[in-house]
Structure 1
């Protein structure tokens, strides 16, 4: 094998092979064969659930409370806050649940706390659960 195509074996303290480093020229030749095998390993272990935006839209559609809806969300646990959870580019809160009964549930991306906005006929109450440690 030419010097430019030498393989480098990376071992642990017990000299067990942990990885093999291959030259770029060789990788370009074998990538089409290797990619289907490697792709499943390249995906993240956890995919964040999709926000239930259709349930939220339904919640807004039937809004008939005595006060206007406010998109502001704040985390009583860590203090993270936004004036509009939908339009904030940093998206500090992820909508986890929405229902016609007036409940909106958010997860704080900063600390992992759960924030529940309970919309009643004449007021909104906020509850939260601290993140699991």
Structure 2
């Protein structure tokens, strides 16, 4: 039909659905949802912090320096010496793994702080929050 719409048929030639490209879905989404009476619930549900993953990383810590708990945001200046001890939290742990990759979200400006623990050093990256994300990102093979 077009690069944006592929109609799907069963073995008897009956139309059973359509496959839309990300661009077509982004354009038609609200109309389709309204027509079908589908009401979306907000997806703002915060996941629990993966503290068990952090504890596992600490348990197997084999870096040449002590466990570090300090976090700071380059964008808004928010900082703490011990992110887990703060009440209320200045940073939320979003991920941690045995490879030494630990991520946080700044509660002040929503920036993402990533701490990469290497054998003899820690590299920190701070990425600003983007309120407007591209909704039609599409994987192409």
TM-score, length-scaled by structure 1: 0.64
Q: Would you tell me which structure has more helix in proportion to its own residues?
A: 1
Q: Secondary structure at the match of 1:112?
A: coil
> How far is 1:49 from its partner?
0.9
Structure-2 residue corresponding to 1:121: 119
Structure-1 residue corresponding to 2:63: 65
Structure-1 residue corresponding to 2:73: 75
Match of 1:101 among 99, 102, 120: 99
Give CA-to-partner distance per residue, 1:75-106, whole Å, 9 cap, x none: 01111001100001121100000000000000
Runs of 4+ in 1 over 2 A off after TM superposition: 44-47
User: C-alpha distance in 2, partners of 1:67/1:45?
Assistant: 39
Structure-1 residue corresponding to 2:6: none
User: C-alpha distance in 1, partners of 2:65/2:85?
Assistant: 21
- Considering Cα pairs closer than 8 Å and 6+ residues apart, tell me whether 1 or 2 has the greater RCO: 2
TM-score, length-scaled by structure 2: 0.61
> How far is 1:45 from its partner?
6.7
> How far is 1:46 from its partner?
3.1
User: C-alpha distance in 2, partners of 1:114/1:54?
Assistant: 20
User: C-alpha distance in 2, partners of 1:50/1:69?
Assistant: 22
Match of 2:53 among 32, 52, 55: 55
Give CA-to-partner distance per residue, 1:14-47, whole Å, 9 cap, x none: xxxxxxxxxxxxxxxxxxxxxxxxxxxxxx9733
- Over the aligned positions, Cα root-mean-square deviation in angstroms equals 1.3
Residue correspondences, number: 90
User: C-alpha distance in 1, partners of 2:94/2:44?
Assistant: 16
User: C-alpha distance in 2, partners of 1:78/1:84?
Assistant: 18
**Could you say which structure has the larger radius of gyration?**
1
User: C-alpha distance in 2, partners of 1:45/1:70?
Assistant: 32
Unaligned runs of 5+ in 1: 1-43
